[in-house]
Structure 1
């Protein structure tokens, strides 16, 4: 039985606000951090069950402001790739230690930031060019799997989109539509696996307003920040999320 006491709200409200801001304005890269924060006071499965409907609420809240501003080919590739990623996660959810995948995803996120720094300081030179459809499928499959087991699909999506050199709003809008589909794919398997409960439903009712507020604040912050600061912050978030994933995997 989940107790809705001061400790729960002191941990859950900031975590949900943070996830909403990340979802609304900064590509979802750091929104996964709400899961381990909630897991400080809740069983991990309950943390997953509470967050999925809230993340879907953030998706709905931000679809309007970014409507049709996404890069559809990139979003489509990742959506198609996410289907086998989610299916695989469902099949092995009870059998496989997800720490291996957390470590790999975190390593890719951090390596990408160093790659971008090398480009910025002209340690290497490379022209931005469209990436292959296959790369999008792989990014989507990785995001689908990681999102299912820990709501940590942001880094592979960010790596795939940032590598194409797209503008900040196109980047953000593409993450919004992509994760709306991925989160919808996760909902039914979560229900069948027993991840949802009456307690998670009650928690969602209490926390839903904070997710909406966070998402709207994120949309506002997205439009206020200049593009170079936006991507600078995105790289910081990638470093944070990548490091946290590796830490979680190792500890």
Structure 2
């Protein structure tokens, strides 16, 4: 059966904003997608419809950013992310998604406020030196990222908390981000199949929305490629702040 017109009214904007995010414009947009689509279908179904779309977006983003990456960042975060997905699968029935959103929102907002205080108060706008990789921090934030991605579809903010202070070249940052979340989403297919959510109906709805996913992901990638670091990093911290506030809003059930 074809989806209703009302479904498309909310599903198309939802997929478009997530596509811009997958193209490289930051995790704040991605947090809007599932709640927006959940206005038309149950939340778990919305998440299931999104997963195949995310995999297609990942493929498009991987092609768009195929020349850019930061291998060290990717490989140092992946082990924790895999552990986090496993923990999320094992404990998903015991942990409230809203509680996870609330904690992540508080951490993310505090992270951005600390950056603002350090940059514009303590250092009076002078540039702060880039932080070096830290395997302990990478394992911790990678685990939080994998866990929150599975439980609450909110893996972007923990990734930003670890990676933004590294001050990578914007294209290297985005290339590593695209590869990281492509692998995370691919791994998540296994538990979603186990939950029985990737059925024929949901896969059909995903198929109808694929053109929107393709166009919006390519558009997001093109916009990021035109950004200079002086614009990219304030923009990304702004996106992190919006993401944190959105997580707080959802977490406290407003």
Partner SS state of residue 159, structure 2: helix
Question: Is 221-230 or 57-66 further displaced after alignment?
Answer: 221-230
Match of 2:43 in 1: 44
Is 1:239 paired with 2:238?
no
Q: Does the CA contact (< 8 Å) of 2:26 and 2:240 recur in 1?
A: no
Is 1:73 paired with 2:72?
yes
Is 1:18 paired with 2:17?
yes
User: How many angstroms apart in 2 are the aligned matches of 1:233 and 1:7?
Assistant: 33
| 1:161 paired residue among 142, 147, 163 | 163
Match of 2:181 in 1: 179
Is 1:56 paired with 2:55?
yes
Match of 1:224 in 2: 226
**1:227 CA drift (Å):** 2.2
Partner SS state of residue 102, structure 1: helix
Match of 1:170 in 2: 172
Match of 1:116 in 2: 115
**1:27 CA drift (Å):** 3.8
Question: Is 84-93 or 96-105 further displaced after alignment?
Answer: 96-105
Match of 1:146 in 2: 148
User: How many angstroms apart in 2 are the aligned matches of 1:47 and 1:163?
Assistant: 33
Residue by residue over 1:193-225, the C-alpha shift from the partner in whole angstroms, topping out at 9 and shown as x without a partner, is 112222211111110110111100001111122
TM-score of the aligned structures, taking structure 1 as reference length: 0.94
* 5+ long unaligned stretches in structure 1: none
What is the count of residue pairs matched by the alignment? 250
TM-score of the aligned structures, taking structure 2 as reference length: 0.93
**1:68 CA drift (Å):** 4.9
Q: Does the CA contact (< 8 Å) of 2:27 and 2:239 recur in 1?
A: no
**1:84 CA drift (Å):** 1.2
Note the aligned Cα RMSD (angstroms).
1.6
**1:67 CA drift (Å):** 2.0
Match of 2:198 in 1: 196
Is 1:104 paired with 2:106?
no
Distance 1:151 1:193, change over 3 A: same
User: How many angstroms apart in 2 are the aligned matches of 1:68 and 1:130?
Assistant: 23
**1:246 CA drift (Å):** 0.9
User: How many angstroms apart in 1 are the aligned matches of 2:252 and 2:243?
Assistant: 14
Q: Does the CA contact (< 8 Å) of 1:98 and 1:149 recur in 2?
A: yes
Partner SS state of residue 121, structure 1: helix
Which aligned segments of 4 or more residues in structure 1 are displaced greater than 4 angstroms? none
User: How many angstroms apart in 1 are the aligned matches of 2:226 and 2:67?
Assistant: 20
User: How many angstroms apart in 2 are the aligned matches of 1:7 and 1:156?
Assistant: 34
Q: Does the CA contact (< 8 Å) of 1:30 and 1:154 recur in 2?
A: no
Match of 2:215 in 1: 213
